[in-house]
Amino acid sequence: MFKVNYKGYLQSYFTNSYKNRRISYSYRTNGDPTKAGGVTTRYDEKVDLKENLFILKKESVPALITSEKYVSNLNNYRRAAKFEMTMTKFPNSAPRYNATSWEDVSKRIFKSSGFGGEIAKTNYYKNDLAQVLANSNSEIEKTFGIYNFVKSKMKWNQGYGIFVSDGVRKAYKNGLGNVAEINLMLTSMLRSAGLNANPVLISTRSHGVPMFPTIDGFNYVISSVVFKDGSYALLDATEPYSLPNLLPPRTINWNGRMVKSDGTSVSIDLVPKKHSSEDNMISIKISDDVVTGLMRTKLTNYKAYAFRVNNNHVKDESTQAKLEEKYNIEIDNFRITNKTSSKPISRMIKFSSEDLIETIGGKLYIQPLLFLTETSNPFKSEKRNFPVDFVTPWQEKNTISIDIPAGYKVESVPETMAISMAENYGTFKFQVLQSPKKIKILAIAQINKAVFTPEFYPELKEFYNRMVKKQSEKIVLVKE
């Protein structure tokens, strides 16, 4: 007996029918050759069965659009049907049921020597753990102390999997291991410290969302700690720049499965709750069509994580060159702080540019957000059949201060605007304040939901349309 599992938008293309069939077969049994009269007996049998026929008849099946932005893994939405064998029944034998639940799968994984058995091993790190915990008293202190120790002690060999390869002891000795070895080791240490720690099984973004319960549905494991107040922290010690509840984006794929010490399991949401933010403050002066300015930027959560992953392995000069190309500016001074700490990234840029102002008929035309202006909508398709995935909720705040050059006055500025999506899923606020010598622009875009279903796509697209249009309006200065 089979069960069909659909993904994508294929189900409506099938027609289903049934057909009765009869199978004839024969088999032989051998008599005992040591006894008199031992002979071979032939048996002829017939079995009546019912076939379930699935027929796919569809021409010109629409292709998945691969150029769309904010997509997790297109294979999750590619049209497909998979048939899972749920039961077998042979003549003269009891039925054998193969279908399992995620609870059953989790128990089987936990009972494996390459998983639960590795968590139970503790002798190899006892002395080191005692030193780590010497000055730790609270749950938070113990968690951070152990987590940071494992991150500094272990290096990830880029190996995935939910089972160990060489084992936690050898990995600990060599300071090198796969995902399971590092994070099962972390879980074991946290438990040894008296914390309520459990491994969490995950299917990564590249692996896809599993369609039905199977051990192969998981290819990654992280750790978790549930605190006495009911809150919890998700931990991945394979990444030097990850933090509690700030997992590598590859792991943020809907839900994971927390496996408790007794082998039972519960589903756990992996999507971040905190906003990742980028806060830019720019002040500029205009002289002879040349703009000089100072930009200060603060990055938090995944914005800071992405910056560290993309830039910490290169020299600041290379990062500076990329910014000059991206913003079409010349950077005269450049400084970054908190590159390796858990604090927000802080960046300062002194710059100049001859391309931020248009002079037409003696008037100066300035884009309010300068080189931070969104010039096009990333959502261009009329409709979308798979979710928009931002990975995390986010906020971008831009504060621009423009000194009005001598001899000029304001002719016009964009009007204030505030828009929001249904359910408060997103907001955009835009405001221009002016005085005789200065113009101040404040623009805040915020998305409060990490994943948007296809049904919400039209509203999200229109939200971006209005946001881009407002940012494209110009400030106009004229000579006094």
Give tens-digit pLDDT for 1-40. Answer: 777 777 665 556 677 888 898 888 887 777 665 555 556 7
Structure tokens at 340: 């390796």
Which pairs from 312-319 meet CB under 8 Å and 24+ separation?
312/241, 312/339, 312/340
Assessment of whether the complete model's pTM goes beyond 0.75: yes
Q: What are phi and psi of 234, to 5 degrees?
A: -100, 135
Q: How confident is the model at residue 99 (pLDDT cuts 50, 70, 90)?
A: low
Q: What are phi and psi of 380, to 5 degrees?
A: -110, -25
57: Cβ–Cβ under 8 A, 6 or more apart, which residues? 13, 15
276 pLDDT exceeds 90?
A: yes
Q: How far apart are CA 317 and CA 394, in angstroms?
A: 28
Integer angstrom CA distances of residue 433 from 371, 444, 447, 476: 19, 15, 25, 14
Flag the least confident range among 6-15, 40-49, 193-202, 348-357.
6-15
Given this model, what pLDDT does residue 330 score? Answer: 97
87: Cβ–Cβ under 8 A, 6 or more apart, which residues? 1, 95, 96, 97, 98, 99
Q: pLDDT (tens digit, 9 = 90+) per residue, 238-250? A: 999 999 999 999 9
Q: pLDDT (tens digit, 9 = 90+) per residue, 59-72? A: 777 677 767 899 98
- Tokens 């500029």 — which residue? 284
